[in-house]
Amino acid sequence: MSRELLKKQVSRRSFIRAGAGLAAASALSACAAPARPAPPAASEAPVQSTAASASTPPERYNGYKAPGAELPAGKLQFYVGLDAESEKKLQAEFDDVFTKLNPGVSVEILNVAGDEKLMALIAAGTPPDVWWAPHAGIIQVADGSILNIADYLKDDPIMADVLPAYVNMFTGLDGGLYGLPNGAWFWLIYYNKKMFDAAGLSYPAADWTWDDLLTNAQKMTAGEQWGYMNSGLIWGGGLYPFILSNGGREISEDGTRWMLDTPESLGAIQFLYDMIHTHKVMPSPETLKGLGITDRQAFANGKIAMQTDGSPPDWTFATYAETLGWGNFDVVVLPHPAGKSLVNWMGSGGFSVSARTSNPQAAVELLKFLVTGSALWWPSASYRSGVAAYTAIQQERLPQLADTQWQAAYEYGAQKTVFSSSSNPFTAARYTGPDWGAFLDRLLSGKVKPEDLKTEVPAWNAKYAAGLEKDLQEIPLKPAYEEALKKLLDEVKQRA
């Protein structure tokens, strides 16, 4: 099969396997204004905060430390989509920091929005050296377009710094490592302290349960005022931490079957369904739309007492403070089912290296600079050192955070995240994701019930074998992936 045909078959939807929420979060991460670097630890060299003004580069830049050995010289091409100002700042970092720390290695930015151009370059056999990718569960890992960087980082300190969940998301079916994360995104709950006070309720604590959430929501629901809103339900991301905490999964770890019909998954889905349609403490998306306001506006205007959000505090706290005022709202981790522990769904983007790069050693070093050096993406809570750096930056920007529970909630939440998708690029979601999306829309509007998943899910899973068998015949895969997928197909057929 030709690369051109492969290019035509691989749409953006199949290229991005991490889901709509992850793609959105990663896109925001890529386009956001550069963050100021965190203050260095006392034992470290000073962090260079303005790359363009650096005459002599520091040994350490943000979380990136210069390698001990000289790299092979050459020019690297980095594919990314940025606004003009961010591109200018990134190029300055490359020229004034990365190249000076790695003499002879220069970086050219190929600034193109979207994946279409990237896919064309890959199909033509002229890919860039490094590009953004959501996680290992993409076809380019399976067809051999992305470099396995495990050997290049085997003894690198960065592997002790990156948190296990984020290593897992870039670990392929063949055990290879196909990228490094550049961000972290997970859910917290913001709550209106005035509404809690008016209802005579204690503020939620880190060990609160689903029962506590429901009880509090019931006592703060009246008319067009609701106790809780989970805006992530509209695309599924807000549902997944509830499923995970209850011992369920959206998709099996090997990616071969939907698991939304298991008792654990159904229990979580039923709980949130009842919040909308039985207890009526949460507005449906249609109800909220009918009010002509967004979920964030509803929270800021006192129509929502508790709001699930995954955005950084310089968005959420700054936005809510404009209307509610500092001191009148706070944040807490998600609740968990009684007798169980919180497990939080996480999303992240990252960068991968082309298998066709002529300078893999330098390309991997550029990868390290992007995820731990560049102020566009560092600090990142996908790294142990990044969690502390991230909270320090946010509190520098918003000193008022010191009077809130945000840091404790964020640090705790970062420890509770897991990679709940699959590193299999040919997951069940590849073939029946739209079916789940359409069902979810009907579920939130009350047109179907959670128990209907008991008949829907088997039908979706039945499509998997046919879809995988077709792809195995038509898409050229490297031997390790072809072997792994054939084995999975045999297991699926045996289950059927």
Q: Would you give per-residue pLDDT tens digits along the chain (496 residues)?
A: 333 333 333 332 233 223 323 333 333 333 333 333 333 332 333 344 444 444 556 678 999 998 988 999 999 999 999 999 999 999 999 999 999 999 999 999 999 999 999 999 999 999 999 998 877 778 899 999 999 999 999 999 999 999 998 999 999 999 999 999 998 888 999 999 999 999 999 999 999 999 999 999 999 999 999 999 998 898 889 999 999 999 999 999 999 999 999 999 999 999 999 999 999 999 998 888 888 888 889 999 999 999 999 888 988 999 999 999 999 999 999 999 999 999 998 888 899 999 999 999 999 999 999 999 999 999 998 999 999 999 999 999 999 999 999 999 999 988 899 888 889 999 999 999 999 999 999 999 999 999 999 999 999 999 999 999 999 999 999 999 999 999 999 999 888 7
CA distance 117 to 350: 18
Q: Phi and psi at residue 230, in whole multiples of 5°?
A: -120, 90
Is-contact 217 272, C-beta < 8 A? no
Residue type, 393: I
The H-or-E segment that residue 60 falls in is: strand 60-61
The pLDDT value given to residue 55: 52
Q: What's residue 20's pLDDT?
A: 29
pTM for the predicted model, two decimal places:
0.86
- The pLDDT, as a whole number, for residue 57 is 61
Angle at 98 between CA 68 and CA 389, to 5 degrees: 85
Residue 157 makes CB contacts below 8 A (sequence gap 6+) with 65
CA distances from 88 to 34, 347, 449 (A): 11, 27, 51
Phi, psi of 36 (to 5 degrees): -75, 140
Domains observed in the chain: 13-184+348-405 (3.40.190.10), 186-346+423-430 (3.40.190.10)
